[in-house]
Amino acid sequence: MIDILIKNLPIIVVLCPLMTSLLVVLIPNIFFSWVLTTLSTFLTFLFSILLYQEIQIHSHISYALGKWMPPIGIEYIIDKVAIIPVIIISGISFIATIFAYKIMPEEIEKKSISKVYSLWLLAIAGLLGLVTTGDAFNLFVFLEISSLASVALVAMGAHKDRQALVAAYNYLIIGAVGATLYVIGVGLLYGITGTLNMADLTNRISDLNNNRALIAGFGFMIIGIMVKAAVFPLHIWLPRAYAYAPSAVSVLLAATATKASLYILARILFSIFENSENLINNTLLFVILPLSLLAMFAGTIMAIYEKDIKRLLAHSSVAQIGYITLAFAIGTKASMAAGFIHMFNHAIIKGGLFIAITSIGFYIKKRVTINNLSGLGREMPITFFCFVICSLSLAGLPLTAGFISKLYLIKASISSDDIWIAILILISSALSVVYLWKIIEVMWMHDGRKIAIKENPTIYVSLIIITFLNIYFGLDASLVVNGSFDAADKLIGDLK
């Protein structure tokens, strides 16, 4: 019994949220639809933990959909690399679902709540499918599932603020362009190789060095995924989408959506095209590296001048994505590991910050801008305390998860003789203290109107969980560090 379960796990983690999303629509009751969603995300999380344990033994689990053997049929693969985004997505979506319970009914029409949960699960299923599939075209399908579901979720914010519609429309159009570029790239590759299976593609590409169609296909795929991953300057859909989406949706998207695409980016660069070394090295050096450095500074500076806090956090996400792509761009084993470490840590950091800020929005019943925050730190000590810890983590101070990311990022850049990159990383993280301190100072030191606020346990429980994770992984990083180094090993192999 358990054997069969384990064999089928790669598809079960995708099917579990996908199937419940169809069920949830049928339940009109707010509470029960939430319970079902929580149950489903919890099960998914449990399955991904099982997968993690299984991966430690077998290091590779493959599932052939419909018993059509790859490379003909569609294959689902989980290896030591894919398990990282799977854990991130399933874990964060579970926490975000707990958080959604009280927040959702506040911001969305009562009658559409079960539909929102259905979309919510659909988005999660799409993201999980994205990272588990081993088929380049199937990946496009999941990309669209997750994108369309998230667009609809962002648009749900219109009940509170009509701006959400514009944000959703932007997201839809830009996302669709990205997906189209990706699928054109896949088409070109299919044209010259005759296969869609990723592992098979890798083998066949190795004979095709310097084929123009290959280079064009690669270009289309990379650009398409970079749009989805919000790599600077293709990030313009992101700040609006995060800022105007319903609170719980911002949390879910901020912590998971771009991570999945970043993982795909790494997979394309280092796995599918691993044999076209010249092409990859040039892309890393002349495209990804400069864009990442720009992102680090542009995102941070935009955040410093931003007044709307959700947008501020979104800009900071752009900068943080810059750190991750920077780690990819350095392209050594140590830097890839640093990238995965930061991918995980940034998910728990940004998740925590968004939960803290959106729950403040829930209490004060208006948009959270810097001026609305005065003195609130003393009114809601728990939320404020957690916000401060997550901020310290984002700035990369010791005892928090963020410190571990910075430590390995800097080590990777110094050990590949790029000391100037290490210096730029330090400058950019020092700048990030500026916008975080701005918020903390206003919340703690300024005197505001006295509003009696009673913090609600159902809201802060998820905040406390995620803050605890930030501290735990700052104190005992072995799990994340070892997992990331295993992943980097698998991805880069003996290449370098």
Partner 1 sequence: MITIENFILITILSPLIVCVLTPFISKNIILRDCLGPIGGVISSWGAFNIISSALNNQNTTLEIVKITEGVSIGFEITPLGAIFGLVASFLWIFAAIYSVGDMRGNKEKNQTRFYSFYAMAVHAALCIAYSGDLLTLFIFYEVLTFSTYPLVAHKQNEKAQKAGRLYLSILVGSSVILLLPGIIWVWVATGSLEISQNGVLDGKIDEAYAPLLLVMFVFGIGKAALIPIHTWLPAAMVAPTPVSALLHAVAVVKAGVFTMLIVLTNVFGIDFLAKTGASEWLIWLASFTLLATSIIAIYKDDIKARLAYSTISQLSYITLGGALATSMATQGAALHIITHATGKITLFFVAGALYVGSKITKVSELNGYGKGNPLIFLAFFIGSLSIIGIPPMAGSWSKFFLMLGAAESGYVVVIGVFCISTMLNAFYLLEIPARAFFLKNEREINFKIPKLILIPTLITSFITILLFFFIEPFQNLTFMIVSKI
Residues near partner 1, by CB under 8 A: 395, 397-399, 404, 406-407, 410-411, 414-415, 426, 430, 433, 474-478, 481
Least distance to partner 1, CB of residue 478, Å: 6
Least distance to partner 1, CB of residue 64, Å: 38
Nearest to 115 by CA among 191, 190, 178, 34: 34
Rounded CA-CA distance 59/274 in Å is 20
Nearest to 333 by CA among 321, 341, 322: 341
Is 350 or 406 the residue whose CB approaches partner 1 more closely? 406
Angle at 114 between CA 253 and CA 99, to 5 degrees: 45
Is 285 or 430 the residue whose CB approaches partner 1 more closely? 430
Give the 3-state secondary structure of residue 4.
helix
* Biggest alpha carbon–alpha carbon distance for the chain: 70
DSSP code per residue over 155-221: HGGGGT-THHHHHHHHHHHHHHHHHHHHHHHHHHHHHHH---BHHHHHHHHTT-TT-HHHHHHHHHH
Least distance to partner 1, CB of residue 45, Å: 25
Angle at 30 between CA 144 and CA 97, to 5 degrees: 55
Is 245 or 481 the residue whose CB approaches partner 1 more closely? 481
Is 321 or 410 the residue whose CB approaches partner 1 more closely? 410
Is 275 or 416 the residue whose CB approaches partner 1 more closely? 416
Is 34 or 344 the residue whose CB approaches partner 1 more closely? 344
Q: How many CB atoms lie within 10 A of CB 349?
A: 33
Cα–Cα distances in angstroms (integers) from residue 1 to residues 4, 10, 14, 66, in the given order: 5, 16, 20, 19
Give the 3-state secondary structure of residue 62.
strand
Least distance to partner 1, CB of residue 395, Å: 8
Please name the helix (run of DSSP H) or strand (run of DSSP E) that holds residue 64, with its range, or none: strand 60-64
Rounded CA-CA distance 205/194 in Å is 11
Is 325 or 405 the residue whose CB approaches partner 1 more closely? 405
Is 311 or 406 the residue whose CB approaches partner 1 more closely? 406
Least distance to partner 1, CB of residue 466, Å: 19
Least distance to partner 1, CB of residue 346, Å: 17
- What are the two backbone dihedrals, phi and then psi, of residue 195, each rounded to the nearest 5 degrees? -145, 155
Q: What is the bridge-based pairing of β-strands 75-79 and 60-64?
A: antiparallel
Least distance to partner 1, CB of residue 74, Å: 38
Least distance to partner 1, CB of residue 377, Å: 15
Listed in sequence order, the residues at least 6 apart from 79 whose beta carbon sits closer than 8 Å to its beta carbon are: 55, 59, 60, 61, 490
Helices and strands (DSSP H and E) totals, the chain: 21, 2
Is 43 or 414 the residue whose CB approaches partner 1 more closely? 414
Q: How many CB atoms lie within 10 A of CB 440?
A: 18
Least distance to partner 1, CB of residue 428, Å: 12
